[in-house]
Structure 1
Amino acid sequence: MKFRSIARQAVGLVAGMGFGMFFATAQAQCVGENLIDALPASDRQTLLAAAHAQPNATGNLWQATRGNETLFLSGTFHLDDPRHDALMQRLLPYLAQSRTLLVEAGPKEEAELQQKLAKDPAAMMDMAGSGLQHMLSPEEWTQLTDALLQRGIPSTIAEKLRPWFVSMMLAIPPCALQLAAQGGGLDKRLIAAATERTIPVTALEPFDTALGLFDGLSADEQILMIRNALLVEQQSADFLATTADAFFAGESRLIWEFSRLIANQAPGATPEKTDADFAQTETALMVDRNIAWIPRIEAALQDGPAFAAFGALHLSGKDGVLALLTARGFAVTPLPDR
C-alpha cells in the first residue's frame, strides 16, 4: 500500500545514512486493534460504499490479457506479515509462468538510491535547518519531537529533516521500524522468488522517484500532512493493523476512505478541502506514477508473460493501473488470492 511503501523507503534512507541510534526503540512486533472494525456499523457501511464505488475496488490478484499478451498483477503490502506465507503460495504459480517481474524498485534501484543519499542527503535533509520548528506551534513541535524520538531520531536531527520526510516517518509506528528497514514485505518476497528462479526483475520507475513525489506540494501542504499524521500518531500501531487487515481482506481501497474520514476530523477541516487535498495527494502518489508505468509494462510484455507487483492502492480507481490497462485494450479479470 502506497503510504507504507514510501514510509518503508524513508526508513531505509535514514538507516542508510548511518544513524546508529535509529532502531534503539524498535520492538519485536506490533500489536494493534482494527480501527475500522471498532466503528459503528453505519460508519463502516459508509466507508465500504465509498470504497466500492471505485472501479476494481476489491481484490489483490488480477490478470490482464490482450491478444497473446498475458500480465499477472498483484497488489502488495510492503511490510512483513506472517500472512504473506499463504499469499505467496497463491502467487508463485503465476510468477513461474512469467518472463519478467516488474516492481516499483528492485535491488539495483535501492542500491542506487542509497548511493545517491550517501553522497548527497539534501533530498531529505537541510543541514542549515528546514525551519520546521517555526512552522509548527510549540505544542505541535513538542509532540513531533517526542514521536520522532520514539523512532530514534533526536530533535537536533528532526529540525533538519524536510517536512515530507517527517510525515512519512510518522506513518510507521516505532514497533515496526526494524521490520520496515529489513524488508520482508510481499515485494521483497517476490523479488527473492524471482531471483531464485532466474526471472529478471525490472523496475517500474527510476530509483529516485520517491524523492520527487512531493515536489508539487507547497510547504503549507507538507505541514498539513505532518499535522494530520500527528493527530493519529499515538494510534500508529492500530493504523498499521487496520491497513494490514484491509489488505489481506482484499479491501485496500477502504484504507483510503478511512484516511479521508480521519482527515475530516481534524480541526478546521471541511469535506470540500479534504477532498481537494486527497485528490492532489492521489495524483502525486499514485495517478501520475500509474500513467508512467503503463509503457514499461507494455514493453515488458514484448518478451512474454509478465508479473507486476506494486502497492495495492495502485490497482483501483478510475486512474488505477487496472483501469488504464482496460483503456489500452486489455481484458482485466480478478483471480482468487485466498
Structure 2
Amino acid sequence: MKHLAAAAFALFGLASQAAAYCAGTNLVDQMLPGDLKEIRARADAVPFARGNFWMAEKDGQTMTIVGTYHIDDPRHMSVMAALTGRIGEASGLLVEAGPEEENALMQAMGKNPSLMFITEGPSLLERLPRDTWRRLSEALEARGIPGIFAAKFQPWYATVVLAIPSCMIAEPDLKNGLDAQLIDAAEEANVPVRALEPYDTLFTIFGGLSEEQSIAMVEASLAMEGQSEDMAVTMADLYFEADSRMIWELNRLFAYKQPGYTRQQVDAEMAVMEDVMMIRRNRAWIPVIEAAAAKGPLVVAFGALHLSGEEGVLNLLAENGWMISELDLAGAVSQP
C-alpha cells in the first residue's frame, strides 16, 4: 500500500499516465473531425497553449522553466542532457516537492491515517450510490486493493488511485519521471533542491472540497475506467508532442459525453478543479519562483498543465514583466 500511495502522489500536478507501461490506442487519432476541431480551438485560445520548455528573463535574471511529466518514460532521455547542463549552471532547482517534502508527506500519512482513510463515520460503501460503489470497488480490486480497504479510502484518495491504470500499478520505476530525474541531476551536481510549496499542500487542497465535489471527482474518474489504457497512451503522447493543454480539453470533451451531465455542469466542475488544483497553486508559486531567481540562474520544474492559461505560471510571470520565450533544447529559441 505504501508503494501505491507514493505512486498516486507522483501523479499530483499532471493527472496523466505512462504509456510506456500500458498497451492502448491514441484516442486523438480516432476522434471525429468536429470534436478534434472543438478541443483544438479551446486549447489554442489560452496563452502559452503549446510547449514544455521555456526561458524567462528580467533585469538580468534568468530561469529555465520545465513543464514536466511526473511518470517514467524513455522519451525523457532526449531532453535530460540539455537540462542536466542547465542545472549544473543553476543556483538552484525548484520543484513541486523535493526529497524532504516527500519524506515529510509519507511520515505524515504514517502518523495520521485519517489523511487518506476514513477512520470514523460512514465508509464509501455507505456514502456512494450502489452502482458507483460497485464500479469503484471493481476498479480498485483490479489494482490489487480489496473492497474492505477500498471502502475506507477518502474520496479524493480513491480518485488519485484511479488515475493509475491497473497496467502500471506494479511498475518499480513508476515515479522516475522528469521531475525525479532532474532532482537526481541536481543532487549529483550539488545544486540545492527546493520546493515550490509545503509538503501538506495536497491535503489542504482536497480537504477544502465539499462532499459533493469529492464524490463528483470519483464519478468523473470512473467514467474513463474502461478506456484507462487508451487514455494512458493519449495523455503521454500529448505531453511529448508539447501539447499538454489538449489533455485538459480532451478530458472536458469526454465529460461532455457522459450521461447525466450537461455542458454547463461539466464546465462548472472543471472550473472548480482548475482553480483548486492549478490556479491557486500557480499564484502561490510566483513569489517563490521570483525570490529564487533573484539569487542566480534558476531551473524550475513542475507539471506541464501549470504552464498554460490566463493564470498559468508563464502568463503570470509575463504580467510581472518577465520576457518569456520558448526554448528549443536542440539550441533554437523562438518567441511564442
Fold conserved (TM > 0.5)?
yes
1:131 maps to which residue? 123
| SS of 2:63 mapped into structure 1 | strand
Q: Which residue, 159, 165, 172 being the options, matches 1:167?
A: 159
- Structure 1: gaps (5+ residues): 1-7, 16-27
1:194 maps to which residue? 186
1:294 maps to which residue? 286
Flag the 1:249–1:75 CA change in 2: closer, same or farther, 3 A: same
Q: Which residue, 264, 278, 301 being the options, matches 2:270?
A: 278
Task: Tell me if structure 2 keeps the 8 A contact 1:252–1:312.
Answer: yes
1:31 pairs with 2:23: yes
Amino acid paired to 1:243: M
Amino acid paired to 2:103: A
1:308-323 correspondence to structure 2 within 5 Å: 308-323=300-315
1:237-256 correspondence to structure 2 within 5 Å: 237-256=229-248
Amino acid paired to 2:286: I
Q: Give the CA deviation at 1:54.
A: 0.6
1:119 pairs with 2:111: yes
TM-score, normalisation: structure 2 = 0.90
The farther-off stretch of 170-179 and 115-124 is 170-179
Task: Tell me if structure 2 keeps the 8 A contact 1:10–1:168.
Answer: no
The farther-off stretch of 243-252 and 180-189 is 180-189
1:335 maps to which residue? 327
Task: Tell me if structure 2 keeps the 8 A contact 1:29–1:176.
Answer: yes
Q: Which residue, 5, 10, 23 being the options, matches 1:11?
A: 5
1:217 pairs with 2:209: yes
Amino acid paired to 2:127: M
1:51 pairs with 2:43: yes
The farther-off stretch of 208-217 and 46-55 is 208-217
**Distance in 2 between the 1:204 and 1:50 partners?**
29
Identity of paired residues, percent?
43
| SS of 2:74 mapped into structure 1 | coil
1:74 pairs with 2:66: yes
- Structure 2: gaps (5+ residues): 10-19, 331-336
1:19 maps to which residue? none
Q: Give the CA deviation at 1:10.
A: 6.7
Flag the 1:180–1:329 CA change in 2: closer, same or farther, 3 A: farther
Task: Tell me if structure 2 keeps the 8 A contact 1:35–1:238.
Answer: yes
1:158 maps to which residue? 150
- Can you list the C-alpha shifts for 1:130-156, whole angstroms capped at 9, x where unaligned? 532223222221111111011111111
Amino acid paired to 2:324: V
**Distance in 1 between the 2:81 and 2:64 partners?**
15
Q: Give the CA deviation at 1:179.
A: 3.8
- Can you list the C-alpha shifts for 1:243-274, whole angstroms capped at 9, x where unaligned? 10000000000010000011111222111111
- Can you list the C-alpha shifts for 1:41-79, whole angstroms capped at 9, x where unaligned? 232122111101110000000011001110110100011
| SS of 1:316 mapped into structure 2 | coil
**Distance in 2 between the 1:87 and 1:31 partners?**
24
Task: Tell me if structure 2 keeps the 8 A contact 1:59–1:337.
Answer: no
Q: Give the CA deviation at 1:281.
A: 0.4
**Distance in 1 between the 2:297 and 2:171 partners?**
32
**Distance in 1 between the 2:38 and 2:146 partners?**
41
**Distance in 1 between the 2:159 and 2:329 partners?**
32
Q: Give the CA deviation at 1:181.
A: 7.1
Task: Tell me if structure 2 keeps the 8 A contact 1:130–1:159.
Answer: no
1:92 pairs with 2:84: yes
Q: Which residue, 157, 161, 175 being the options, matches 1:183?
A: 175
| SS of 1:318 mapped into structure 2 | coil
Instruction: Count the aligned residue pairs.
Output: 319
**Distance in 2 between the 1:266 and 1:14 partners?**
25
Flag the 1:180–1:72 CA change in 2: closer, same or farther, 3 A: farther
Q: Give the CA deviation at 1:89.
A: 2.4
**Distance in 2 between the 1:224 and 1:312 partners?**
24
- Can you list the C-alpha shifts for 1:260-295, whole angstroms capped at 9, x where unaligned? 011111222111111111111001000000011111
The farther-off stretch of 87-96 and 236-245 is 87-96
Amino acid paired to 1:40: L
TM-score, normalisation: structure 1 = 0.90
Task: Tell me if structure 2 keeps the 8 A contact 1:33–1:242.
Answer: yes
Task: Tell me if structure 2 keeps the 8 A contact 1:80–1:180.
Answer: no
**Distance in 1 between the 2:254 and 2:329 partners?**
29
**Distance in 1 between the 2:145 and 2:157 partners?**
12
Flag the 1:180–1:204 CA change in 2: closer, same or farther, 3 A: farther
1:83 pairs with 2:80: no
Flag the 1:235–1:337 CA change in 2: closer, same or farther, 3 A: farther
